[in-house]
Structure 1
Amino acid sequence: MVFPNWSGAPERAFPGPPRLTPGRWEKHHIFPQAEDLARWFERQGVKIHDYTMPIPRHVHQRIHRGGERGGDWNNAWREFKDANEGATPAEIFRHAGELIHRFELMGGPIQPYYSRPGA
């Protein structure tokens, strides 16, 4: 996966671990699928199904708990959208990285939702 060049640094690929540890994993959409957010991402030029990462099932449940309509993860995106209605794709990707860090997400490589595991 290659992220856009955000601050003048060279673009780099970030390889994921060669294998996921045993246990139950779920594909997590970095950019939420909730209708209100999905429409906004599309208008901003971000394809939500291109960016998922496998994370442990219990972590996926934790980040979508709390609040309503997708829990804390989706609420964090709604707060960003409301404050940055005209955000560029680069700003959106930067915020995605911040949320991945804030929610302490560790998992496999970022890949399209419709890809095969390990592909």
Structure 2
Amino acid sequence: MVFPNWNGGSSRVIPPSHRLTPGRWEKHHIFPQAEDLARWFEGQGVKIHSYTMPIPRDVHRRIHGPLGNGGAWNKAWREFRDRNRNASAEEIFKHAGELIHRFELIGGPIQPYYSRPGA
């Protein structure tokens, strides 16, 4: 999966490594599944289950918090949505990249939720 090219960078796709380091990994939805956010993403043309990335389990727990409310990750998305109710899909993808950087997410390739690891 490749995010849209916004800044005139190379359109060449560099194949990701299909091997993750040892440890416990969880699939992280780039676009949260919380009902309010999922409805908004769908209305903006973003398919939330098409964009996940495996990240270390401890990182996943850190960004979502222990209370089951989505933590800082979902909060950041709600703040963006509230400031940008009519955001285009392109603006949403750009913000996703910014959040991935801000939350220092390192993991495997972005892929659909229902894909097999390494596929």
TM-score in same-fold range (> 0.5)? yes
Contact 1:66–1:72 (Cα < 8 Å) also in 2: no
Aligned match of 1:31? 31
Q: Match of 1:39, SS?
A: helix
The yes-or-no answer on 1:50 pairing with 2:83 is no
Amino acid at match of 1:25: W
The yes-or-no answer on 1:64 pairing with 2:64 is yes
Aligned match of 1:15? 15
In the TM superposition, residue 15 of structure 1 has moved relative to its aligned partner by 3.2
User: Among the aligned pairs, what percent are the same residue?
Assistant: 76
The yes-or-no answer on 1:100 pairing with 2:100 is yes
Aligned match of 1:77? 77
Q: What is the alpha-carbon root mean square deviation over aligned residues?
A: 1.6
Aligned mates of 1:16, 1:84 — CA distance in 2: 32
Amino acid at match of 1:57: R
| Match runs of 1:81-92 below 5 Å | 81-92=81-92
Q: Gaps spanning 5+ residues in structure 2: where?
A: none
Count of aligned pairs: 119
Aligned match of 1:6? 6
What is the TM-score when the length of structure 2 is the normalising length?
0.93
In the TM superposition, residue 68 of structure 1 has moved relative to its aligned partner by 6.7
Amino acid at match of 1:82: D
